[in-house]
Amino acid sequence: MNKQILIKKASGELEPFSEDKLRRSLERVGTSPDVVENIVSHITGELKNGASTQDIYKHAFSLLNKHDRSVAGKYSLKRAIMELGPTGHPFEKLVSEVLKTKGFSTQVGVIVQGICVSHEIDVVAEKENQHIMVECKFHNQPGTKSDVKIPLYIQARFEDVRNAWLKNKDHTQKFHEAWLVTNTKLTSDAITYAQCVGMKPIGWNYPVNEGLEVLIDQSGLHPVTCLTTLDAGDKQQLLNEDMVLCKELLHNKDILQNLGLDTAKISQVEKEINELCKII
């Protein structure tokens, strides 16, 4: 483009529009090269100064959805995770299942007694006798970042439960490490503090090539809110029944029938799930 276009982020900040950034976001979800270039060309040709990142996302998603529903579902992952709210439980279940694909055994919502008080740990993960306290910080507002207050809070809880174990070796829960998993970007201070105290931070695009979105794509464990063949009401009903993952629907076909979908619609949904949940 000859003229620099400024776009508005969800935080209200203005930044120069980047064709490369748009292109990378499309490539990340497996969009074919010709479709990528068509969408980038279409959007840059119509983009106006002051357009929001939300506008650009909706435009790209609409164009992508016409080409391939399953790729569009992957492209919508960040917003789909935010739609898991308002509570954090579905996100905790998602994180737990992703960790299982990495060889961990997991439990969700475990009450652990600390030195001072008891704590509900979002996910307890264990592998090779390493016990991890995983705290899941869920946000459902675009533009939100996880700042340093979050790892500070997690570290205080971790020290309380770890010290209870160190003081009493018969304690039923031992913890060697704390992790922070969030569906947003992390501030630089949050990352610096977490690394300083030995905590593992996982967020959107962090660590590079190992962020939450990569872990989900690699595992094929996409949330039901990614599905483009279901409407918002259907997705909410699934969440109400604790159906968080698309793959769960393939093993619980009665659930789709209970939504009132006909055979043809169920076939469409199942086809999208099979394509969406292919491991990248």
Last residue of a domain, one of 166, 186, 206: 206
Same domain, 13 and 113: no
Residue 275 maps to a domain: no
Residue 185 maps to which CATH number? 3.40.1350.10
Can you tell me the mean pLDDT for 230-247?
Answer: 95
Residue 18 maps to a domain: yes
| Mean model confidence pLDDT for the chain | 93
Of 227, 209, 228, 230, nearest in space to 218 by CA? 209
User: Is the model's pLDDT at 24 over the cut of 70?
Assistant: yes
Residue 199 maps to a domain: yes
pLDDT value, residue 278? 75
- Identify the residue with better confidence: 93 or 171: 93
Same domain, 189 and 94: yes
Same domain, 40 and 112: no
Residue 124 maps to a domain: yes
Percent of the chain scoring above 90 in pLDDT: 84
pLDDT value, residue 11? 84
User: Is the model's pLDDT at 279 over the cut of 80?
Assistant: no
Same domain, 32 and 125: no
Same domain, 53 and 131: no
Can you tell me the mean pLDDT for 146-172?
Answer: 91
Same domain, 114 and 60: no
Instruction: Answer whether 77's CB lies under 8 Å from 103's CB.
Output: no
Same domain, 128 and 55: no
Same domain, 186 and 94: yes
Can you tell me the mean pLDDT for 88-107?
Answer: 97
Residue 138 maps to a domain: yes
C-alpha gyration radius of the chain: 21
Same domain, 112 and 48: no
User: Is the model's pLDDT at 10 over the cut of 50?
Assistant: yes
Can you tell me the mean pLDDT for 142-155?
Answer: 96
Same domain, 35 and 138: no
pLDDT value, residue 2? 54
Q: Please count the other Cβ atoms lying within 10 Å of the Cβ belonging to residue 192.
A: 13
pLDDT value, residue 72? 92
pLDDT value, residue 142? 86
Residue 115 maps to a domain: yes
Residue 137 maps to a domain: yes
User: Is the model's pLDDT at 1 over the cut of 80?
Assistant: no
DSSP letter for 10, please: T
pLDDT band of 280, cuts 50, 70, 90: very low
* Ramachandran region, residue 60 (left: φ > 0; alpha: ψ -120 to 50; beta: rest): alpha
Can you tell me the mean pLDDT for 202-206?
Answer: 97
What is the residue-wise DSSP string for 130-189? EEEEEEEE---STT-EE-THHHHHHHHHHHHHHHHHHH-TT-S---SEEEEEESSEEPHH
**pLDDT tens digits for range 34-75:** 999 999 999 999 999 999 999 999 999 999 999 988 899 999
Parent domain of 30: 6-67
pLDDT band of 172, cuts 50, 70, 90: low
Same domain, 93 and 192: yes
Residue 277 maps to a domain: no
What phi and psi values does residue 34 have, to the nearest 5 degrees?
Answer: -70, -40
Same domain, 131 and 195: yes
Instruction: Looking at mean pLDDT, say which of 16-30, 67-81, 93-107, 163-177 comes out highest.
Output: 93-107
Domains held by the chain: number: 2
